[in-house]
């Protein structure tokens, strides 16, 4: 691609003759062009993302990294001269991984180390670790069939692959993640001593994926970890071949008392309806295995870029635009809950909350949860979004951090990126800056800025 | 993303309640589901792509790699038991790079090596290389202004960046590539002794991008090479700082006599209208700096996967479906031209030619060049493509290899992937298997198979 000049200069010219028939050349299209040019040419988002990933890095709730990120984003928004920048206190959980985990498969034919990662919220093993026979199940039905007789004293291994027949990665995730979240307690119900889950990804590779788990308080607590999809297939093959295998795991994680942390909030005050608030946000915390680049550095940095861009190009939004860096999405959602609670207490009027927390990939549209008449209004702006490829407004959605606002009746949206690559990265050692593409990240910021501009200008 | 269970299990369920209101549950939707499941679950495309990249590698026209690829794709299609598999002879140019090029910037303050790559079709320098003063221009206008007085005896350096304000990468490419293709002859018009072009990419990195150039036969031929965007900025900064710099380049490329090569063609014969042919193709040749993974291993492997899938799921297409691996797209288009010529000679009736040559990324739709009534017919199938995200049918397009068919009036289409990442890779040492994502590649193959199925079933 493409031997142009010898064959078809005219063809290539034709290729870029877009159909702009339905594009209205209005004041709005001038603003959009300014937004687009500012971010493509002078965007700060990619270098901000680099700083967040490379100078701060992992930002597990309550960690030093998370606190550093709070200070840095506060200072960054201050440096952009937003009208107000402030910290919103919130008490958050304090789970720590401790020393790196150890895992080992031992059968009569071989003994092999496998990388494991404790799931967030899990208890530790004893200091000497746990060794027990592994029993593999595909799902809770199989577990139930095994019952106490088959499970007691053993380690349950949930080998539930993503259903790759599904088209959307989050659809696969949604179907499988219960084994990560609830697997330990379900196994404990039948007397298991620990649980292992196949990592949450459709790819077969050597990266274990962490992520939140929770205990059913009426059942004994047992340690819970994940192994990579490759090791899951290995362990399964050993069990098939040898019939029986032991697993040794040693985990050193711990839940300490809650600590104080912050949502970081920056605001441009509305010129006509300052009491009407549009939230644009992402979460500042991340898992601890890498840099939290795509989950959710990208969403946090995009949210700041929206405000920076509007200010830079001289748009004075009619409504108040608030960038919110939520704390503790990954293992508690305390930031999102606190924000909504405070909003209610202050009697604030939120006309929209928009989150970006599905990766910084090329935008495909926005998912929405709001009344049909509001959706119809948004769909009328579609032609402006078409050139940027972000014009799928048909799906339902929102975002975890803004779900407490949604419960209060606030219309919510989420940026919908093309995330076929997401579960290579998600909650693993691979969630680094290098996986983020500059242009894709910028395009997300552009369409988010456009959406915020339209809603501020015309309301919902 | 996403702390689901503690916050909103019901929310996630809702997220995947798609709007299928306009989706027709017909025989067609059953076939589509079969296509999709076959490729997602049992697809051969990713491992074929891996073989092509890792076992064969670079496939510059007339190289041993290209010939190996001809034999391998022939055998591969034979192994899939397509009705007919054959080679179509075509004489192709034989340009060789020779020993790796050497480049050096020398000013009064420093002397620095820079990576250069000869442009395809360029002549070599003399054995000792060329040293001359560099003169930088942004475009042909600036070159013209300098004239003979400013250019004679010098090396012209085209420092024409991609216009990042443009949204689509191919739009930027289309605007800038004339400096690569025609820069040498235009510089020679004013007495330049060599030309250097800033690499064709919107990213600033250290990879020089090769690609085809051509000489104007009425002007002296001078050597032409590319430097990376990073080195282009460096060279420009030296010129600004010091006012003057020399460039040394040594290139060892050569054009040898044409040789015989092949298009590789596999066919499933139509069950009702065997005389009506649908071509689905990509090009088998590549540049020589890496593995030709995305340009255009992906398109070639997708085309084979289309036929394999239809056969595997038991679809007997009404029309004849032909996978064509075109030879020599990159530096001559001889394969595409020969194919069209033979089609004309044999009086064959092509009802559609579909190419994939814009990268194996997530499909966004198909670009088309055909009559409006044919486009309208295709647009009626849009709802079937929507779940796969490939439903932009508004752009004009085709493909280089099928452009000679287009000239004969054949309706043409090209798979339109999301290619914001393409010019990181294109024509560089980075065009490797590792840059290809399994799911994205499969999704392209799925929607191509769907399109071929619909056209075969219902005609245009």
Write the DSSP string, A50-97: HHIIIII----TTSHHHHHHHHHHHHHHHHTT-SEEEEEEEEEEEEE-
Smallest Cβ–Cβ distance between A396 and the set B5, B15, B418 belongs to B15
Contact B434, B313 (CB under 8 A): no
Q: Are residues B162 and B298 in the same domain?
A: no
Q: Are residues B395 and B438 in the same domain?
A: yes
Residue finishing a domain among B252, B270, B285: B252
Say yes or no for a CB contact (<8 Å) between B15 and A170. Answer: yes
Q: Are residues B354 and B206 in the same domain?
A: no
Q: Are residues B27 and B77 in the same domain?
A: yes
CA end-to-end span of chain A: 44
In a domain, A18, yes or no: no
Give CA–CA dist A299/A296, Å, rounded. Answer: 5
Say yes or no for a CB contact (<8 Å) between A400 and B2. Answer: yes
The torsion defined by the Cα of B157, B143, B200 and B207, in degrees rounded to 10, comes to 0
Residue A25: what pLDDT? 57
In a domain, A8, yes or no: no
Q: Which residues of chain A have pLDDT under 50?
A: 1-24
Q: Are residues A277 and A377 in the same domain?
A: yes
In a domain, A9, yes or no: no
In a domain, A1, yes or no: no
Smallest Cβ–Cβ distance between A11 and the set B181, B395, B403 belongs to B403
DSSP state of B284: -
DSSP B1-41: ---HHHH-HHHHHHHT----TT---SHHHHHHHHHHHHHHH
Q: Which residues of chain B have pLDDT under 50?
A: 1-24
Contact B299, B401 (CB under 8 A): no
Q: Are residues A153 and A195 in the same domain?
A: yes
Q: Are residues B110 and B235 in the same domain?
A: yes
| pTM given for the model | 0.94
Shortest Cα distance, chain A CAs vs residue B133, angstroms: 29
DSSP state of A155: E
Nearest CA in chain A to B287: A1
Selection from A149, A97, A105, A155 nearest residue A123 by Cα? A97
Say yes or no for a CB contact (<8 Å) between A173 and B2. Answer: yes
Q: Does A102 touch chain B (CB under 8 A)?
A: no
Q: Which of A2, A172, A413 to mutate to test the interface with B (most CBs of B within 10 A)?
A: A2
Selection from B282, B247, B325, B280 nearest residue B448 by Cα? B280
Q: Does B19 touch chain A (CB under 8 A)?
A: yes
Say yes or no for a CB contact (<8 Å) between A398 and B182. Answer: no
Q: What angle do CA B205, A420, A436 make, to 5 degrees?
A: 30
Smallest Cβ–Cβ distance between A6 and the set B3, B177, B214 belongs to B214
Nearest CA in chain B to A286: B1
Smallest Cβ–Cβ distance between A439 and the set B358, B359, B420 belongs to B420
Residue finishing a domain among A252, A280, A311: A252
Nearest CA in chain A to B400: A2
**Neighbour tally for A297: CB within 10 Å:** 31
- List the beta bridge partners of residue A273: A319
Q: Distance of CA B255 to CAs A350, B118, B130, B331, Å?
A: 68, 12, 19, 11
Nearest CA in chain A to B406: A11
Shortest Cα distance, chain A CAs vs residue B441, angstroms: 10
Query: What is the predicted ipTM?
Result: 0.94
Residue A14: what pLDDT? 41
Say yes or no for a CB contact (<8 Å) between B1 and A214. Answer: no
Smallest Cβ–Cβ distance between B387 and the set A167, A174, A181 belongs to A167
Please report, for the domain that includes residue B405, its CATH number: 3.40.630.10
Region of residue B98 (left: phi > 0; alpha: psi -120 to 50; beta: else): left
Q: Are residues B126 and B248 in the same domain?
A: yes
Q: List, as ranges, residues 213-252 from A with C-beta within 8 Å of B.
A: 214
In a domain, B10, yes or no: no
In a domain, A207, yes or no: yes
Q: Are residues B173 and B65 in the same domain?
A: no
Residues of A in contact with B121 (CB under 8 A): none
The torsion defined by the Cα of B444, B450, B455 and B456, in degrees rounded to 10, comes to 120
Q: List, as ranges, residues 110-139 from B with C-beta within 8 Å of A.
A: none
Shortest Cα distance, chain B CAs vs residue A332, angstroms: 7
DSSP state of A460: -
Selection from B37, B9, B6, B51 nearest residue B293 by Cα? B51
- Outline where A190-250 has alpha helix (H): 229-242
Smallest Cβ–Cβ distance between B396 and the set A17, A173, A392 belongs to A17
Q: Are residues A416 and A270 in the same domain?
A: yes
Give CA–CA dist A80/A390, Å, rounded. Answer: 27
Question: Which residues of A are identified as catalytic?
Answer: 329
B334 is in which domain, residue-wise?
23-94+257-458
Please report, for the domain that includes residue B207, its CATH number: 3.50.30.30
What the block records as the tokens of B186 is: 């235009």
Q: Are residues A248 and A270 in the same domain?
A: no
Smallest Cβ–Cβ distance between B330 and the set A3, A364, A403 belongs to A3
Q: List, as ranges, residues 364-423 from A with C-beta within 8 Å of B.
A: 364, 367, 369, 387-389, 392, 394-398, 400, 403, 406, 418, 420-421
A–B interface: beta-carbon pairs under 8 A: 183
Residues of A in contact with B174 (CB under 8 A): 4, 12-13, 15-16
Shortest Cα distance, chain A CAs vs residue B53, angstroms: 17
Question: Which residues of B are identified as catalytic?
Answer: 329
Q: Name the CA radius of gyration of chain A, rounded.
A: 24
Count of domains forming chain B: 2
Q: Does B204 touch chain A (CB under 8 A)?
A: no
Say yes or no for a CB contact (<8 Å) between B15 and A438. Answer: no
Selection from A23, A19, A80, A26 nearest residue A458 by Cα? A26
Say yes or no for a CB contact (<8 Å) between A400 and B7. Answer: yes
Give CA–CA dist A208/A202, Å, rounded. Answer: 12
Shortest Cα distance, chain A CAs vs residue B84, angstroms: 28
* Residue whose pair of structure tokens reads 């995947």 in the numeric block: B16
Q: What angle do CA A180, A245, A195 make, to 5 degrees?
A: 20
Residues of B in contact with A403 (CB under 8 A): 7-8, 11
Smallest Cβ–Cβ distance between B17 and the set A6, A17, A396 belongs to A396
Say yes or no for a CB contact (<8 Å) between B13 and A367. Answer: no
Q: Which residues contact A194 (CB under 8 A, 6 or more apart)?
A: A125, A130, A132, A155, A156, A184, A187, A222, A223, A224, A225, A247, A249
Residues of B in contact with A329 (CB under 8 A): 1, 3
Q: Are residues B150 and B48 in the same domain?
A: no
Q: Does B42 touch chain A (CB under 8 A)?
A: no
Residue finishing a domain among A224, A252, A280: A252
Residue A110: what pLDDT? 86
What the block records as the tokens of A96 is: 């720590």
In a domain, A289, yes or no: yes
Shortest Cα distance, chain B CAs vs residue A202, angstroms: 9
Residues of B in contact with A140 (CB under 8 A): none
Q: Does B50 touch chain A (CB under 8 A)?
A: no
Contact A218, A188 (CB under 8 A): no
Smallest Cβ–Cβ distance between A7 and the set B169, B400, B420 belongs to B400
In a domain, A2, yes or no: no
Say yes or no for a CB contact (<8 Å) between A167 and B440. Answer: no
**Going edge to edge, which strands form the sheet with A155-158?**
A111-113, A102-106, A246-250, A130-137, A155-158, A194-198, A224-227, A116-118
Shortest Cα distance, chain B CAs vs residue A165, angstroms: 5
Say yes or no for a CB contact (<8 Å) between B400 and A214. Answer: no
**Going edge to edge, which strands form the sheet with B116-118?**
B111-113, B102-106, B246-250, B130-137, B155-158, B194-198, B224-227, B116-118
Residues of B in contact with A8 (CB under 8 A): 400, 403
Nearest CA in chain A to B4: A400
Nearest CA in chain A to B175: A13
Shortest Cα distance, chain A CAs vs residue B235, angstroms: 21
Say yes or no for a CB contact (<8 Å) between B3 and A333. Answer: yes
């Amino acid at each position: 691609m493409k031997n142009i000049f010898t064959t078809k200069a005219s063809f290539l010219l034709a290729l870029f003759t877009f159909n702009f028939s339905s594009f209205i050349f209005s004041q709005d299209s001038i603003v959009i062009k300014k937004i687009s040019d500012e971010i493509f040419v002078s965007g700060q988002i990619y270098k901000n993302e680099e700083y967040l990933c490379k100078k701060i890095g992992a930002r597990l709730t309550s960690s030093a990294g998370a606190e550093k990120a709070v200070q840095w984003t506060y200072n960054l928004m201050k440096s952009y001269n937003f009208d107000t920048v402030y910290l919103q206190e919130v008490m958050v959980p304090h789970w720590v991984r401790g020393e790196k985990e150890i895992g080992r498969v031992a059968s009569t034919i071989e003994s092999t180390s496998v990388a494991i990662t404790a799931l967030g919220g899990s208890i530790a093993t004893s200091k000497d670790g746990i060794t027990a026979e592994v029993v593999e199940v595909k799902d809770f039905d199989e577990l139930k069939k095994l019952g106490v007789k088959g499970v007691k004293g053993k380690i349950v291994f949930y080998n539930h692959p993503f259903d790759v027949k599904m088209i959307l990665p989050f659809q696969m995730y949604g179907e499988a993640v219960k084994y990560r979240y609830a697997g330990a307690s379900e196994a404990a119900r039948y007397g298991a001593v620990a649980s292992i889950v196949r990592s949450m990804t459709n790819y077969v590779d050597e990266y274990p994926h962490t992520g939140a788990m929770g205990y059913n308080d009426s059942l004994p607590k047992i340690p819970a970890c994940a192994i990579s999809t490759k090791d899951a297939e290995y362990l399964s093959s050993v069990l098939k071949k040898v019939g029986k295998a032991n697993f040794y795991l040693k985990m050193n994680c711990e839940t300490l008392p809650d600590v104080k942390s912050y949502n970081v909030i920056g605001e441009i005050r509305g010129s006509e309806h300052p009491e009407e608030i549009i939230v644009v946000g992402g979460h500042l915390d991340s898992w601890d295995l890498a840099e939290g680049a795509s989950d959710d550095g990208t969403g946090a940095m995009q949210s700041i870029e929206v405000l920076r861009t509007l200010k830079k190009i001289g748009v004075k939004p009619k409504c108040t635009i608030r960038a919110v860096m939520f704390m503790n999405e990954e293992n508690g959602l305390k930031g999102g809950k606190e924000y909504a609670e405070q909003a209610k207490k202050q009697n604030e009027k939120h006309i929209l909350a928009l989150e970006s927390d599905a990766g910084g990939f090329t935008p495909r549209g926005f998912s929405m949860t709001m009344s049909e008449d509001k959706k119809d209004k948004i769909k009328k702006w579609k032609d402006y979004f078409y050139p940027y490829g972000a014009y799928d407004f048909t799906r339902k959605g929102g975002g975890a951090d803004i779900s407490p606002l949604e419960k209060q009746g606030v219309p919510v949206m989420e940026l919908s990126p093309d995330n076929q690559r997401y579960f290579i990265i998600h909650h693993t050692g691979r969630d680094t800056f290098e996986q983020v593409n500059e242009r894709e990240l910028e395009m997300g910021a552009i369409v988010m800025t456009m959406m915020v501009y339209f809603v501020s200008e015309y309301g919902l």
